[in-house]
Structure 1
């Protein structure tokens, strides 16, 4: 499959040849430069259908063969695809291990990171436990905003320079690569929720949804500042973990009905993200080809 991204690279390479070689020596070929794609990130990038999860024997990282990077690779048909994603990863882990997969020849990098830095898992556990005994209140918001300071907003702000460091390291190791930073799929609806299926109190649902939107906004701002492309799958409503029809969920609930990890993207969710990223890559390729 000849993707728009590779066609753009081919056009760029052909232009360089025409400028560097005397006219008599020019020869037009159908060869394309290889596309080298490396995926980085945490479990929202690494996990997919639970039955396809596997553990990398070298790193111990849990990944799936149908996560969004793998689905994107099927679309782009790269010459090389390296999935360095790792469930549970934080920004420091990306810097210490995952970016080692990058080289100066890397053409495309995708990155999903930041959720574990603010404590996605511990927040869900604490807010779920509080919601079990106070379904109509806002015990989680009360806890994290006590004393007049929003602790989760502070965590998001503190993660920004860590993402800057990851993006700077990516650019240093892969100076010519297109970097696509991917936000998080929406976990909760804007209001009400679905207690007790997802045991978040009614009053806490808009607060926690706001925290996630704040996180995605911050990630997008840091991506833009670094000259990267940002894809935000969290903008769409109607596919959160509270959807009554399982096939409408892009994120599974705490007790999986679908073949997905708890509170993680479903197969449909990963497919949606892959489509968004493919669209962003195609747009970038078209711009490069015509610009």
Structure 2
């Protein structure tokens, strides 16, 4: 029997149930992993509430983790028992052990710990595709990062600054603003006290931003558009405040012939070669010190519901890791 967090019905954090489950041997093309660290992400709340639909109920929550290979399924090559691996997959990670498609697993380099990998796979690969593929940030660009003290936000700020951009962040408190400043942000806007679009215009002397990275969604969408210069790009990659409502595509013209995209990580990692390239870039940035993964909260797997309450209450910063 294996400990896991399962969801039998959609709802609040209380629907996260700590249970014992049967785990079959790894199937064809799978590896079995004894989990040592499990990453927590805002997307986990989307599946829990039903905003994102799981394949079926009940399901095991969680989308990223790291651990040690303990068994190989038929046809698996390139891995051996004892390998340290990390992966990002859709669901199943809130568990002490699990079977993982080998095609989604990556061996960890010596300089990256299990805990850092578990905290970095989903958030770090998200930052990688946003900065290098959705809009390729270059020296001299001005970027706006919403929720700059969050897990993805802290990585985006550091990495964008390393790439030579001027980084503007938004945060809800002065404490979070200071954290964002220490992680790459040249300017931080306290969005509860001032309109961020107006401040962006002031900071940039009316030039505004080349790209806005918006994981907040509903409450920031219009302001994000108003923070872009002509031909700017809005990458709306999350819905922390709710989904963006339908809008008139025609408004993008008079606002400066803007581009809007709603990218998802799983599109960018659907091919093994793409996944390996992105992971190599991410692990290289971590190993070189260009990106530091801030793990600011740790908890036991059984306490996942409390962690979800803190996450949705905007009480957390940086990454959160669960251990079995």
Larger radius of gyration: 1
TM-score scaled to structure 1, two decimals? 0.28
- Between Structure 1 and Structure 2, the one with more strand by share is 2
Q: Which structure shows the bigger proportion of residues in helix conformation?
A: 1
By relative contact order (CA 8 Å, sep 6+), the higher-ranking structure is 1
